[in-house]
Amino acid sequence: MDRCQYRVGFSQIKINHKDVEKNIEKIEKITKENSFDILVFPELSTTGYYFDNRKDLKKISFQKDDEIFDTLEKLCKDGFKNIVFGFSEKDGEKIYNSSMMITFEGKRFVYRKTHLFFKEKDLFDSGDTGFFVVKLKNIKVGMMICFDWFFPESARTLALKGAQLILHPSNLVMPYCQDAMITRSIENRVFSITSNRIGREGGYNFTGKSQIVSFDGKIIHRAKSLTEEVFITDIDLEKAKNKKINEMNDLFKDRRGEYYVC
């Protein structure tokens, strides 16, 4: 993995509501059967999205070191792969809408969703990890989850910390995110992978259209809205290190941070 040419992708899937074992088996199967460096699954892809109450949700919530994820860890280590997937994380009495990255070294990193959407506020606690980057050999990547896209500061914080690729597990129901992530990629000169789910659950229709966007805002690939799809392609993450807009403007050097305060 000592290079900047990476095989990356998304897995747009239908999730089995509340059937953690079946969902994890599906993630394991896709991880095992495909060749990639980084693959992103949807938000809450182990549990589904809709719950009546915290009590029901907590029953199928886990901690990052729980053995239920051990097979995925082994697959990543044996296959020299990195995956990101959403899960419901419990920590004492708290429950977080989280995403886990399992790396090719078998390390587990967890990001807790910062911006909760709509009725998620009745189920989950607000995330407290903040936005951070993970170094994978010679590149840096960062995670954000679904509604985090609505706040430009999310992607900007990751970019300022050196992320070349934003990994974005989602359960999207509004029609705006895919286009907004084009802007997030352009304004930060980073690649982004949005992995959405399909199907209907608890009155929510999930919009699919998972996508990979280049640092210059070009859509490398966008899935359809109603079908499952695993898409993997090669990208050159070295390009995301160049923050020059033209010969006189640099995205970060031209920032006027002293004026971005309220």
Q: 43, 73, 89, 120: which is the annotated catalytic residue?
A: 43
Q: 14, 26, 81, 113: which is the annotated catalytic residue?
A: 113
CA distance 10 to 192: 11
Q: Pull the structure tokens for residue 24.
A: 């994890």
Q: 14, 76, 120, 146: which is the annotated catalytic residue?
A: 146
CB < 8 Å & 24+ apart, contacts of 27-30: 27/72, 27/83, 27/85, 28/71, 28/72, 28/75, 30/230
In order of 30, 137, 163, 183, the CA distances from 256 in angstroms are 45, 32, 20, 20
76 is catalytic: no
Say how many CA atoms lie within 13 Å of 88 toward its Cβ: 26
22 is catalytic: no
User: Residue 1 burial by CB count (10 A; 0-12/13-18/19+): exposed, middle or buried?
Assistant: middle
Q: Do 227 and 43 contact (CB within 8 A), yes or no?
A: no
Residue among 161, 194, 186, 201 at smallest CA distance from 23? 201
Q: Do 181 and 193 contact (CB within 8 A), yes or no?
A: no
Tokens 């980073």 sit at which residue? 190
CA 142 remoteness from chain centre: 8
59 is catalytic: no
Question: 197-223 burial string, b = 16+ CB within 10 Å, else e?
Answer: bbbebeebebbbbbbbbbbeeeebebb
Residues labelled as active-site residues: 43, 113, 146
